Amino acid sequence: MDGIRPWLALARTPGLHAGLLIPLLARYGDAAALLCAGRDELLGLGMHPGAVKWLASPDQVFLDRDERWLEDKPHNFIPWDSELYPTLLREIPDAPVGLFVDGDITAIALPQLAIVGSRNPTHAGIETARAFAAHLAATGLTITSGLAIGIDAASHRGALEGEGMTVAVCGTGLDITYPASHHALRKEITTRGALVSEFPLGTPPAKQNFPRRNRLISGMSVGTLVVEAALHSGSLITARLAASQGREVFAIPGSIHNPLARGCHQLIREGATLVESAEDIFPQLRQLTLSLAARTAVATATKATDSTRISGSPLDKDHKILLDALGFEPAGVDLLVQRTGLKVGEVASMLLILELDGRIESFPGGLYVRAHPEGTK
């Protein structure tokens, strides 16, 4: 097998995730060589017998179907070793071997904020999720959720209304529409964002898939905002996964008489940031994004000239390169990647930092311009 096919075989391997895969790749060199390893040798390395059985003889019918799906644009598969694999997701110990993507692959590399909540929200909860998503998406954040009915769907729709990007993480294979009522929403998301799944084609909506999906929602995002959630709900699982992954958790409080506010109140008691407006989110996001930039070695500290200062703090080398490449005419991420030679994820993370710092402004459609220095507008 060559090309992407070995990775498709690894993606279908039972129980395999990046934490188990990394030492195997270090030993064998690449995905194709791993598939050629002997069964006894893999068993000796502690691999599960079911995984070894699959690796010894992958079902070529399934792999043929995966490759045919990939022939249709905008279908893609992003393996773990790809530069397009989300930087934050790569940090979690059980990250997926790869991601199936339907839509704009750059969406998963952009800074994301997860918005989650009840499948049976109040009308006020739907309106709140939609309004927050629209506002936050308009600032340049990609809104990520799980495509479920209720708060998830409201968040996706709000992001689209804000003319921003949205990512839907699915608990099925991407050839399956679930829930069926979201067929039109799925289609709209692929034109202004992406559908994402770690599950191979043909995977049905089994109950055990959705907690696994939740770790991707939180794992790809710099923070998770919970709008309405009952105690012991899936949304609280996502929020706690986010906290365990070192991400910020935000919760919107509600009436003490609303049972769907109790989960948010519990999260606030546990240390989540209480949110009354979108502006309550940005200070923490700036710190998280700066931390991400440091962890991914995006920047090397250098002295900055006065011309690189708007808010007063100095720019490092790569941030200055990006700012210099961004003029006062709108430009998108792809164009800035071409101008700077930086990676998509690096550019996206730095754009959020520059925007939160007041150095650039975002516009609908994922476009950015330099902010005019005070007094020159």
SS3 280: helix
Is a pLDDT exceeding 80 seen at residue 369? Answer: yes
Q: Per residue in 113-166, pLDDT tens?
A: 999 999 999 999 999 999 999 999 988 889 999 999 999 999 999 999 999 999
pLDDT score of 309:
34
Q: Which CATH architecture has domain 105-285?
A: 3-Layer(aba) Sandwich (3.40)
pLDDT score of 292:
59
**What is the Cβ-side half-sphere exposure of residue 136, based on CA atoms within 13 angstroms?**
31
Contact between residue 220 and residue 88 where contact means Cβ atoms under 8 Å apart: yes
The span from the CA of 217 to the CA of 112, in Å, is 9
Tabulate helix, strand, coil % of the chain (nearest 5). Answer: 45, 15, 40
φ/ψ of residue 272, rounded to 5: -65, 150
The span from the CA of 210 to the CA of 300, in Å, is 39
Q: Per residue in 100-118, pLDDT tens?
A: 999 999 899 888 999 999 9
**What is the Cβ-side half-sphere exposure of residue 138, based on CA atoms within 13 angstroms?**
11
pLDDT score of 305:
32
Strands lying side by side in the sheet with 367-370: 331-332, 367-370, 360-363
φ/ψ of residue 185, rounded to 5: -65, -45
Short-list 274, 206, 262, CA closest to 236 = 262
Q: Per residue in 257-313, pLDDT tens?
A: 999 999 999 999 999 999 999 888 887 777 666 665 555 543 333 323 333 333 445
Is a pLDDT exceeding 80 seen at residue 316? Answer: no
pTM over 0.85: no
The Cα angle at residue 311 between residues 308 and 316, in degrees rounded to 5: 45
The span from the CA of 250 to the CA of 48, in Å, is 38
Instruction: Give the mean pLDDT of 66-76.
Output: 95
For 271, which DSSP code?
Answer: T
Instruction: Give the mean pLDDT of 22-34.
Output: 93
Q: Which CATH architecture has domain 297-370?
A: Orthogonal Bundle (1.10)
The span from the CA of 55 to the CA of 32, in Å, is 11
